[in-house]
Chain A
Amino acid sequence: MNLYDIVFYFFAFVTLASAGVVVFSRNIIYSAFALLFTFFGVAGIYVLLNADFIAVSQILIYVGGILVLMLFGVMLTNKVIDVEMKTGTLQTLPASVLVALIAGALCGIFYVTDWKIVRGVSAPATTTNSLGEMFMTTYSLPFEVASIVLLVALLGAAMIARKDRLPQIKNQK
């Protein structure tokens, strides 16, 4: 058991344990906080897989962007004074049956499948260059489409979340 293995098991444990806290914690802030550790654990595994650029993007986008938005949402949708933000569960029995089925199917398929692995390939030390080139050449159309998706999402979010100002103006008149 060398260092690489120990680091893998450490990050895998962090990821799974904190994911468990996200799902089973009664306090929504603890859920959000555990999600932070899940994202970090996944980023650590990316580093182990030589995907440094993805790992930093994971922290930049998920931890720095999406999770802050979620914390923002938590704070906006709960009573401010109430620190105990408890939320319940529902439909536990049918859900657990379904989950057992999904887990069994996934693990069974993964176990049976003979994955094709290119042996002896060492991943490049840094992926930034090749990723950038691929985005600008082979995958430039999907790249542009993704940017349009983001722009539309930005506009849509602003439209949905803002208060409708028209009725207020009418009332003032």
Chain B
Amino acid sequence: MEILISLIKIVIVLFVLLTSVAYIVLLERRVAAAIQNRIGPNRVGWQGLLQPLADVVKLVMKEDIVPRQANKFIHDLAPIISIGVALATFAVIPFGNRIALFGHDIKLQIADVNIGILYILALTSLGVYGVTLSGWSSNSKYSLLGGMRSSAQMISYELAMGLSLIGVIMIAGSLRLDTIVEAQVAWRWNILLQPIGFITFVVSSFAETNRLPFDLPEAEPELVGGYHTEYSGLKFGLFFLAEYANMVTASAIITTVYLGGWQVPFVHSLGLSDVSVSIIQVLGFCFKVGMLIMFFIIIRWTLPRFRYDQLMNIGWKVMLPLAIANLLATGLVILLKWV
């Protein structure tokens, strides 16, 4: 029975994740069009709502081209690593509190790992392999440059990411994501307790997900697509999917760690039944994630790309010292019991 419940949770989460990814692509295109004073895709279905479906069909029908000198095995493996890592991270994210359905007390989280935050950090550090290996195996200088850039960028920003998370871990006193969410009850959200940590974490997430203004691994104008220059058809589609899935996962992590996760303030004072409270909490989680995704999209279409040396300078000379200063301040406050 436990296994069955877990399987159902996995299927539901995967379905919601992949569907939302498809529609985030459409949302991004429409928002981009609005920002650039265009209309955007609105022909397929009402307001373009069937456009993702058409895109998928098109990508599946395309020929799969592998460059002659490429390393076929790694060339095939790289997109699988990318998408696998992006989806696997979602396993530890609590998207709601417990819910009692059909006589079962179900925890709204796929895997309750007691070192959840470390698991997330470990998996994000694996994401670099998809990009680096695809860049190398394509045997093209654009791809290789993209892959090299990405490995340097991701290693640099992982440090700031991990260090900004330590402040949160110190406040919650646990590495378990569930406990971290529970510590943020009512308005004790970590964004209010850890504003600097929040900023460094969000900036590092932008870098880890290769979104503008940190999309140097792809950088269309200079690297003609970077690491996925030599990919086509379904394998390109997997990279595309992984990029957006990463965005959703990053938003979910930010929500869980800094924006109170599934906590919705004042919901308990409304006097609703337990099941409806749980559902409101899940919807609240989805709302927060959606807002963050919108933030990601708007940032992408408003800011220009950094230069490579600027990117490294921001990572090592701004984000890392900020994160360490935040850590010291948090430790001092906890030691002196000011909060």
Contacts and interface: CB of A to CB of B under 8 A. Distances in A.
Interface of A: 29, 33, 36, 52-53, 56-57, 59-60, 63-65, 68-69, 71-72, 75-76, 80-81, 83, 125-126, 128
Contact of B114 (A60, A72, A76, A128): A128
Contacts of A57: 118
B69 A53 contact: no
Chain A facing B: main interface SS: helix
Contacts of B119: 56
B139 A83 contact: yes
Contact of B158 (A36, A64, A75): A64
B155 A59 contact: no
B139 A72 contact: no
Which of A36, A56, A65 is the most central at the interface, judged by chain B CB atoms within 10 Å of its CB? Answer: A56
B175 interface: yes
Contact of B125 (A63, A76, A81, A83): A63
Nearest to B114: A126
Interface stretch (B34-42, B144-152, B240-248, B287-295): B144-152
Given A60-B125, A63-B122, A68-B125, 11 more contacts: A29-B74, A59-B125, A63-B125, A69-B155, A71-B132, A71-B136, A71-B151, A75-B148, A80-B141, A81-B141, A83-B69
Contacts of B74: 29, 33
A52 B114 contact: yes
A68 B69 contact: no
A59 B133 CA distance: 18
B115 interface: yes
Nearest to A60: B122
Contact of A29 (B118, B136, B141, B158): B136
A72 B118 CA distance: 24
A40 B260 CA distance: 33
Chain B facing A: main interface SS: helix
A57 B175 CA distance: 13
* Interface size grouping (class) on chain B: 20 to 34
A69 B126 CA distance: 13
A52 B129 contact: no
Contacts of A71: 132-133, 136, 151
A76 B148 CA distance: 9
B122 A64 contact: yes
Given A33-B74, A68-B132, A52 B125 contact: no
Contacts of B155: 65, 68-69
A83 B126 contact: no
9 contacts: A33-B133, A36-B129, A59-B125, A59-B126, A64-B125, A65-B155, A68-B132, A76-B148, A83-B70
Interface string B66-108: 0001110010000000000000000000000000000000000
A1 B325 CA distance: 53
B125 A29 contact: no
Interface in B149-164: 151-152, 154-155, 158
B196 interface: no
A76 B136 CA distance: 11
A23 B141 CA distance: 28
